[in-house]
Structure 1
């Protein structure tokens, strides 16, 4: 489990994280979202003991990272895929990490195979693509078979097959009962990967929610298609609903839930062809929630 309690981090006059609190429990993937400069990477670095908090605490399984006796067995992380020695082979890189935590060569081979690098284990990292380095970083994170995992932008440089693979990997790790925290700017990918989201801006928590709860909060109405669309629209408005015609002949209905629309259509003997609740995408919800937290904005962006 990851616990962040009233965490504050300053770099001189700059307030990077401001009294941030959240908990990530085992068994699900938590998406860590926010604009550039929101404090995501600083928070992860503090959890991993790379930055000292100005105040508050960031704990792994109830302890600070620096208190963990064999940290790779409790927490694994991928923060920067480029932070490797290009002259080493993939195997040697992992062996260096493994020896300080009592991990044998067999486990090194296992994680290289799991991330798809078994065939290039003896090649120097300097010749690896960014996607291959990301896979090597995942292997390093998994090396000690930890129960807590943190990934910062893990799909950078991956092709579509690699993105799908890492999505499936993170979900399988959570299904095994591990704690998984992942940051990303790819909202469409987070919508497919994360079970819950933590959205921060200017170092503060804006929202913590499940994907389902977020969809319900930003519901845009119900898309309805019927043979007698004009008659149905009249009946819906009489019932107090907001009805907006769609370009393709459908009706976007607000103010009435799908079951109530279905019952109304039945009373009026109108056959329904489609009844689909429509919600904002994760990207649309995210942009609305973080609109006031964006430091750098291109011309033409709505405020």
Structure 2
């Protein structure tokens, strides 16, 4: 399997895009005051705050462990409210040969859409994708949004001693790539036309898939995926309708209409696209969702499950 990859996710916030960007680009040393449970400190080692080429040092807690990271600011785009950090020292480099994080805030309605991208190269194949780190920065973004929203409300009504809580948006999207050795059309074909074979390929993840309506490989077919995911230690089920199939671009989109996922999400849509890359392919997973309430976490563990399943299918397709 390839050691290179990329994970992405969006989070909607109420704060203005330029305010969120300014906190990360020019005042990251204030973040520990805003979210002390996640970030304990941020110090400038070289250069100036908000300048490309500057080196900053983070103390943070991830997966219950105190960690450190030294990063260089590779790029700042003030016009597009984007900043890119490259990790050059610290705990992350015990698992990744390289890791680069880009955070971009875009105005959306009265608030913003924050998009995180992490591009990485693992040290070995057993290292997982950095989805828990992605969840960490999404949660951090929410903490920063609460702070920025509260500060803005206090500026508007300075004499009002009421703290206005920022209700987090329920819509979102998570994405990730995985490189495989199998041809794109073969990978696409197994998901669009032969999903009932997947349980034979990856029985530890999928225990069955039955067709309830329509024809395999056609839009509108309702497929009952009995996924004993061993996902979060529980066997689960999902009924999905095929919303779209694009054979030219090796893409298929499923919409969940019944099952365990509906206990947390009002709706969730999954798109899988395989694109030729070198002698193999790049598989891109996208999950768009609406949570039932703001305490539900982003489906990053489900995304990791999909990436692991992709690797199982790749091993089968290459062997065949």
Common topology (TM > 0.5): no
Structure having the larger proportion of residues in strand: 2
Q: TM-score range by the shorter chain?
A: under 0.3
- TM-score with structure 1 length normalisation? 0.26
Structure ID, larger Rg: 1
- TM-score with structure 2 length normalisation? 0.25
* Larger RCO, structure (CA 8 Å, separation 6 or more): 1
